[in-house]
């Protein structure tokens, strides 16, 4: 089995750990998709890869938050630790506002 590009920590924290690959986080169908790169977290407006091969060609990995092997349920609040040393808070109850993606901690190290 290949090494994963993320680590799950606690009940709602994802740690991004591979610089060359981006994470695309899919929570539910009605929520926006989020892209985690080495530079931070942004809302993703592109096409989500349908399978692992398409994701590999796009240098990313798709992570379905509500799948049983990840968290098992959709999350309203999610924390992402990026490679730039910042921890971001994604609040899905505030979609479409400037408070949707915020820096939670400037340095978690």
In this prediction, residue 87 carries a pLDDT of 93
Structure tokens at 29: 């169908």
In this prediction, residue 64 carries a pLDDT of 92
Closest CA to 91 of 76, 103, 104: 76
Locate tokens 């799950």: which residue? 8
Structure tokens at 78: 């999610």
Give every CB contact of residue 82 below 8 A, 6+ residues apart in sequence: 16, 36, 37, 38, 39, 40, 41, 88
Would 85 be classed as within a structural domain? yes
Would 1 be classed as within a structural domain? no
Q: Which domain holds residue 101?
A: 6-105
Mean pLDDT per block of 10 residues along the chain (109 residues) reads 78 91 91 92 92 92 90 91 92 91 80
Would 26 be classed as within a structural domain? yes
Q: What strands, in cross-sheet order, belong to the sheet with 13-16? A: 6-9, 13-16, 77-81, 87-91, 101-105
Q: Provide the number of structural domains found in the chain.
A: 1
In this prediction, residue 1 carries a pLDDT of 38
The model's pTM: 0.85
The stretches of 1-109 forming alpha helices (DSSP H) are: 52-57
In this prediction, residue 29 carries a pLDDT of 84
In this prediction, residue 16 carries a pLDDT of 92
Would 40 be classed as within a structural domain? yes
In this prediction, residue 109 carries a pLDDT of 60
């Amino acid at each position: 089995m290949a090494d994963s590009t993320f680590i799950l920590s606690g009940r709602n924290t994802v740690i991004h750990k591979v610089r060359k690959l981006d994470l695309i986080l899919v929570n539910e169908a009605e929520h926006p998709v989020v892209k985690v790169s080495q530079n931070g977290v942004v809302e993703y407006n592109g096409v989500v890869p349908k399978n692992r091969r398409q994701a590999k060609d796009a240098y990313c990995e798709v992570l379905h938050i509500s799948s049983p092997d990840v968290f098992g349920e959709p999350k309203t609040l999610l924390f992402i630790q990026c490679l730039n040393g910042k921890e971001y808070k994604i609040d899905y109850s505030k979609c479409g506002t400037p408070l949707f993606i915020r820096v939670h901690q400037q340095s978690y190290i």
